[in-house]
Structure 1
């Protein structure tokens, strides 16, 4: 297995991995929603890869991408919780079923965290599934304790 950071030449395979992840996470998506997301993703990756989105992939000897982890870097006004103003969010830690339980996600996450530290990010956060919690705890992630309630305005 070859582990590396993805480039623009990987956009279509990254899109396929993201769609597989979403269908596993959300179940079968409505056709219109599926098509809208599948159409948006390549454009997103082309605009953001190696700018503020970094994709870590596991690649077979046949150049097939079978696992991924995305790091999205955000910059915002600094505060005591993020002095540099730069933080990272992990998305789409996904491995295709035949390649699971072989350490691929751990390797990708270690690469991601190494790069995040080199980028001088204040922290990296993620939302963990129950399957992912043991790996993330092993890597040093812990629960977030905050005096704020997450809220959202949906359009």
Structure 2
């Protein structure tokens, strides 16, 4: 079952974010702890002001994964005159529930919401593990570039 999250789900979302980052690249416990504290404050504010929406996947009666939408202000363009964009973050499935289509179901729920709200695009940064799921849903590479400091 996929459902919108509430503030009561925040501990699960933070646990999933920590696990995702640990699996991807970080074993620095101090950095993970700092991220978790910062993310908790960010997500609480996002829940409050409506800029962060989270979907929770449940399996066997327990939280098994999640996905976050972050609505951000954006300068309008001719392609999309809206002053908002939406970014997908933290699509994660607990290891024992992987390969069951949960991440795809979470993504479908979030994409449906975005379409219903009139968004014309959805952006994300794909991990190597997630790339095939996103491509199967129609995501494709764009012209975005980034300078890291």
Q: CA deviation at 1:61?
A: 4.2
TM value normalised by structure 1? 0.87
Mapped partners of 2:21, 2:130: distance in 1: 15
- Consecutive unaligned residues of structure 1, counting only runs of 5 or more, are none
CA deviation string 1:46-105 (max 9, x = no partner): 11026011111112343x311111111112221124311221111111111100000100
- SS in structure 1 of the partner of residue 3 of structure 2: strand
Could you say which residue in structure 2 is the equivalent of 1:83? 81
RMSD: 1.7
Q: Normalising by structure 2, what TM-score?
A: 0.90
Quick check: 53-62 or 112-121, which moved more? 53-62
Give the corresponding residue for 1:107. Answer: 105
- The 3 A distance-change label for structure 1 pair 149 and 17 is closer
Match of 1:98 in 2: 96
Pairwise CA distance, 1:119: 1.7
Farther-moved stretch of structure 1 (133-142 vs 102-111): 133-142
- Unaligned 5+ segments in structure 2 are none
Contact 2:26 2:32 (C-alpha < 8 Å) held by counterparts:
no
* Number of residue-to-residue matches in the alignment: 148
Q: Which residue of 2 aligns with 1:13?
A: 12
Q: Are residues 1:151 and 2:109 paired?
A: no
Does the 8 A contact of 1:56 with 1:68 survive in 2?
Answer: yes
**Runs of 4+ off more than 4 Å:** none
